[in-house]
Amino acid sequence: MADNKNLMDKLVSLCKRQGFIFQSSEIYGGIGGFWDYGPLGVELKRNIREAWWHDMITGHDNTLTPEGAPSPYSMTGLECSIVMHPQVWKASGHYELFHDMMVDCHECKSRFRADHIGSSQCPQKPSKCPGEHDKCDLTEPREFNLMFKTHVGALFNPDSEAYMRPETAQGMFVNFKNVVDTSRVKLPFGIAQIGKSFRNEITPRNFTFRSREFEQMEMEFFCRPEESRQWYEYWRDQRYNWYVNLGLKSDKLILRDHEADELSHYSNGTADIEYAFPFLGEGEYGELEGVAHRGDYDLRSHSEGKLVRDGDGFAVELGEDGKPKYSGSGKDLRYHDQVANEKFFPHVIEPAAGCDRAALAFLCEAYTEDQVPDGKGELQERIVMKFHPRLAPIKAAVLPLRKKEDAEIAKDIYRKLKPYWNVFYDEGGSIGRRYRRQDESGTPYCITVDAETAEDNSVTIRDRDSLKQERIPVDELIGKLHEKLSGA
C-alpha cells in the first residue's frame, strides 16, 4: 500500500506539472470536490468522450447482437439540460432515496460518510479513524440528500426550488417519446448522452475519483422485456472489452456482478466494471462503470408516479390520502409496436460510465517509470505516460534538431500535420530534454528534422514506448502516422 501511495503522489504531481489536472480555484485555497482540467487534461478527456461516442453511437457495429436478437438496431444521442423540472426527481425516486448516511463530530466539527468511517482520518489525530480518538464525539448516522438544490426565477421560495441533475439518465427517459416520434426508431434502440452531473458528496476524496462535479457517459438501451437479459449480458461484455481495448490491463480490471443486497431500488441486475486504483488497498477495486438492468421502472414511474417494489414488479407509491405520493407526468410512455398492435413499457439496459474516473484510470495505467540510454550510452530514469494512441492528448511532436537551420522545414511539416491531429512544435532545449517532455505528456511519436532532411527529404520518427527510430520520407509521413495511430 505504501508503494501505491507513493505512486499516487507521483501521479498527482505529474498531473499538476504537465497540465493534466489542477485544483479548482487553487489561488484561493481550492474548493473540495471540484477539479479543473489543464491543456493536456482537456485533450485527454475530449479523446475519451470521442472514443466513447464513436464506439457506442456513430461507429458502433449494430449488426452484432446476442443470438436471436433483431439486427440492425438504431443508436442515437441527446443533450439534455442540467436543471430539469423538480417533479422528475420525485417520480424517479431520487428525492427520497438518493442519500448517504452522514456522521458529524461535535468536537472537531468535521463531517464523514458513515460507511467511510473505517477508512477516514481523524482530523485531530490522523493515525486514528473518527471515533477512535478519546476526544471524538460522533453523532448518530442520519440521511443526507446528495442533490444540489438551486432556485429558478427571481423569487426564492419552495415553489422555485429545483435541483442540479445527479445523473444524465433521467433526461433520456423523459425524452423517450420525443425520440420515438421524431426519429421513428424501432425496438431495440439506444439513446446516449454525455454531460455534467452534480452530487453533493459528504467527503470527496481520492483525487478526482469522488468529486462533486463530474461528467457522465451514459446510454439507455430500450428493448422488449423478453430480450432484456440477453442485451444486459451483451452490453456488460461490450463495455468491459472497451476498457481493455484502450489499454487497461485485464489483471487490474474486473467485471463484478452485484449481490442481491447491493442492487438499487430499480435494478433487476447490475454489474460493475472496476479498476485497481493505486489509492486503494491490496485486492480492492473502484467502480469505473455500472451496467444496470433497470427493467421498466423508469418509463413506468415517469408515466404513473414513483414506484415501490411489489413482489417481482412495481406498484405506485400512495400517500395517506390514497393518491400517488409523487405523481408522474400522466403521459403514456409505452412503446407502440404497430406490427403486433400492442403497447408496453420497454425494458432498459444502462451502461453508465464516468468520464473523469475513466480519465483517472487511464492516467494511472499510463504512468510508467523506466530507464533509457542517454547520449553517452548510460541509463537514466524516465517517466513516460503510455496512453493508447486514440487517447493521447498530443499525437505527434515535430522537433527541429537545429533551431535555426532546420526550423523552417520543421514548421512546414508541422503545418501539414495540424489538419489531421493535435500535434506539437518544440525547438527549445536539447533534443533529449524535448523527448523527455513529450514522454511525460504521453505523445506516441516524435518527428525529428535534422541536417539530412534538406538533402533526402526524410525525417526520423521515434516511438515513445520502444524508443525505436525509423527514417521516413516526408511525402509518406501523413500516411505512416495514420497507420501507426490507428493500428497501434
pLDDT at 348 over 60: yes
In 67-209 the beta strands, taken as DSSP E runs, fall at 74-77, 83-84, 99-104, 111-113, 142-145, 149-151, 161-164, 189-198
Q: How confident is the model at residue 265 (pLDDT cuts 50, 70, 90)?
A: low
Check residue 351 and give its pLDDT. 97
Q: How confident is the model at residue 487 (pLDDT cuts 50, 70, 90)?
A: low
How far is Cα of residue 203 from the mean position of the Cα atoms in its chain?
Answer: 20
Average pLDDT over residues 84-97: 86
Q: What is the pLDDT of residues 225-252, one digit of tens each?
A: 999 999 999 999 999 999 999 999 888 9
Lowest mean pLDDT among 72-81, 106-115, 283-292: 106-115
- Going 195 to 199 to 204 to 209, the CA torsion angle's sign is negative
pLDDT at 387 over 90: yes
Higher pLDDT, 227 or 117: 227
Mean pLDDT value across the chain: 90
Average pLDDT over residues 363-391: 89
- What is the edge-to-edge ordering of all strands in the sheet holding 99-104? 111-113, 99-104, 142-145
Check residue 205 and give its pLDDT. 82
pTM for the whole structure: 0.88
Higher pLDDT, 325 or 46: 46
List of residues 6+ apart from 14 with CB closer than 8 A:
20, 367, 383, 385, 440
The pair phi, psi for residue 64, each rounded to 5°, is -90, 115
Which uninterrupted H or E stretch holds 69? Answer: none
Check residue 141 and give its pLDDT. 82
Average pLDDT over residues 271-290: 93
Q: Which amino acid does the sequence have at 329?
A: S
Please work out, in degrees rounded to the nearest 5, the angle formed at the alpha carbon of residue 129 by the alpha carbons of 126 and 133: 80
Q: How confident is the model at residue 266 (pLDDT cuts 50, 70, 90)?
A: low
Q: How confident is the model at residue 2 (pLDDT cuts 50, 70, 90)?
A: very low
> Own/partner pairs for 253-260, CB < 8 Å, 24+ apart?
253/288, 254/285, 256/285
The Cβ of residue 393 has, within 10 Å, a number of other Cβ atoms equal to 24
Q: What is the DSSP letter of 58?
A: I
Check residue 1 and give its pLDDT. 43
The C-alpha atoms of residue 266 and residue 349 are separated, in whole angstroms, by: 11
Lowest mean pLDDT among 45-54, 109-118, 359-368, 467-476: 109-118
Lowest mean pLDDT among 119-128, 169-178, 247-256: 119-128
pLDDT at 47 over 80: yes
pLDDT at 52 over 90: yes
In 333-378 the beta strands, taken as DSSP E runs, fall at 335-337, 342-344, 347-354, 367-373
Average pLDDT over residues 93-103: 76
Check residue 312 and give its pLDDT. 66
The C-alpha atoms of residue 352 and residue 373 are separated, in whole angstroms, by: 44
Residues β-bridged to residue 424: 397
The C-alpha atoms of residue 456 and residue 472 are separated, in whole angstroms, by: 10
Check residue 145 and give its pLDDT. 75
Question: What are the chain's domains?
Answer: 2-87+166-361 (3.30.930.10), 394-487 (3.40.50.800)
Average pLDDT over residues 211-231: 95
Helical spans, DSSP H, in 258-347:
297-304
The Cβ of residue 333 has, within 10 Å, a number of other Cβ atoms equal to 21
Lowest mean pLDDT among 137-141, 169-173, 462-466: 137-141
Average pLDDT over residues 372-378: 76
Q: What is the pLDDT of residues 430-459, one digit of tens each?
A: 898 999 999 999 999 999 999 999 899 999
All three cell numbers of 341, joined, read 398492435
pLDDT at 372 over 60: yes
Check residue 259 and give its pLDDT. 84
**In the chain, what's the furthest Cα-to-Cα distance?**
89
How far is Cα of residue 181 from the mean position of the Cα atoms in its chain?
Answer: 30
How far is Cα of residue 99 from the mean position of the Cα atoms in its chain?
Answer: 22
3-state SS class at 305 = strand
